[in-house]
Amino acid sequence: MTVGKTSRLSLWIYAIKKKSNTWESKMAACSIEDVLAKAEKDEAERLKSITVNKELDLEFDLGNLLALDKNSVNSREFKQQNKDEFLRSLARDNTQLLINHIWKHPSEKVEEVIVVKLPDPVTQLPREKPVPKARPPTKWEQFAKLKGIQKKKKTNLVWDEVHKEWKRRWGYKRAKDDTKEWLIEVPENADPNQDQFAKRVQAKKERVAKNEFNRLKNIARAQKLKVPGAGLAPTGQQSKAELAKAVSVAKSATASVGKFQDRLPKEKPQRNTGKKRQFQPLIGDFAGEKQKHLDMLKVIESKRPRLDITKAVNKQMREEDLEILLLPEGRSN
């Protein structure tokens, strides 16, 4: 009797445990399914569909990555919604349509990157700046065109008669390299005491300077700039006052200081810009002369020098300011 009751009790407990485990597993499965469904829903809301429906199709110019939307904007929705959100959503939809249209074209893989070759642009965009003009020809190009001289490319190697081998035409180890000569023959008409090596170096410097000057002249001519003459700096447009002053100086640069210079037609008489020196009369003002000498004697006989009050006060103020600046931080007078 006891054994039967015990077995029935064990079966009942086992059935209860099994039912409890089944319920817990079902609850766990439901919880996992809910979490996955919620995650998928959130992901779908975050990543919108690539399918966008419009009443009118957009016009595309893929060469310029341009999309033209001719659909009218609902003014009521634009006013009711947040303007930034509305414009951002509209821009997103149009961009999605542009991307969808791009991927309709054939693509290829180049260096692990998928590339789509865009067609030629359709819309002619205006230039920001005018079309660049052709470079004006240099003097040599004009001369060569006039004489019919054709430009021929020289070979890099030439035959060296001294070493009996092919060498470079220019640069290092070139043919006929006169800089390596240890002896130079003095010409008959040259000074025998002149250093021919220094003369050769100076001649090369002059050639380099001449070539550089010609290059700068060509650049200035192309830019339509004024090129200064030898030893003269370029001058700007002179004003009327400057021209009048130049004429006055030129006229006064004569032996008679411009007194007998002929005037130009319609020329105004020259103003005497100089300041005439005033001299004291030799005789007559005895009282003024006496007072002047007395003042001079008073200054000479004075034991103490004359004190300039303003200068002394300014000096004292500068010294005080300097002392304040030189004081260490945190220290007060």
Q: List pLDDT tens digits, range 2-60.
A: 444 455 556 555 555 555 555 555 555 557 777 777 777 776 666 667 778 888 888 89
Residue 188 lies in a domain: yes
Do residues 60 and 88 share a domain?
A: yes
- Phi/psi-derived region of residue 66, left when phi > 0, alpha when psi is between -120 and 50, beta in every other case: beta
Q: Which distant-in-sequence residues (6+ apart) come within 8 Å of 105 by Cβ?
A: 62, 116, 117, 118, 119
Query: Is the pLDDT score of 1 beyond 50?
Result: no
In a domain, 6, yes or no: yes
The structure tokens listed for 289 are 């002369």
Q: How far apart are alpha carbons 18 and 12 in whole angstroms?
A: 10
* The pTM of the whole model exceeds 0.85: no
Alpha helices in 187-285 (DSSP H): 196-222, 240-252
> Do residues 72 and 10 share a domain?
no
Contacts of 56 (CB under 8 A, 6+ apart): 70, 71
Report if residue 177 sits inside a domain: yes
In 3D space, the residue among 275, 276, 267 whose CA is nearest the CA of residue 248 turns out to be 267
Domain that holds residue 196: 184-225
Q: Does residue 332 fall inside a structural domain?
A: no
Q: Which of 230, 270, 225, 228 is nearest to 246 (CA)?
A: 270
38 and 63 both lie in a single domain: no
Collapsing DSSP states into helix, strand and coil, what is residue 49? coil
Q: Quick one: 42 and 74 in the same domain?
A: no
Res. 119: pLDDT tops 60: yes
Is 15 part of any domain?
yes
Q: By three-state DSSP, how is residue 158 classified?
A: strand
Do 88 and 69 lie in one domain? The reply is: yes
Sign of CA dihedral 77, 78, 83, 84: positive
* 56 and 27 share one domain: no
Same domain? 119 vs 65: yes
Claim to verify: residue 168 and residue 190 sit in the same structural domain: no
Q: Phi and psi at residue 18, in whole multiples of 5°? A: -65, -40
Counting Cα atoms < 13 Å in the Cβ hemisphere of 329 gives 0
Residues 215 and 167 in one domain: no
| Cβ atoms of 139 and 220 closer than 8 Å | no
- Spell 21-52 as b/e; 16+ CB within 10 A means b: eeeeeeeeeeeeeeeeeeeeeeeeeeeeeeee
Of 121-135, 226-240, 261-275, give the range with the top mean pLDDT.
121-135
Same domain (yes/no): 121, 59: yes
My answer on whether 29 and 61 are in the same domain is no
Domain end, chosen from 125, 141, 173, is at 125
| Predicted pLDDT at 72 | 85
In a domain? residue 11: yes
Phi/psi for 228 (5° steps) reads -70, 150
Q: How many domains does the chain have?
A: 4
What are the pLDDT digits (tens) for 184-243?
Answer: 888 888 888 889 899 988 999 999 999 999 999 888 888 877 666 555 555 667 788 888
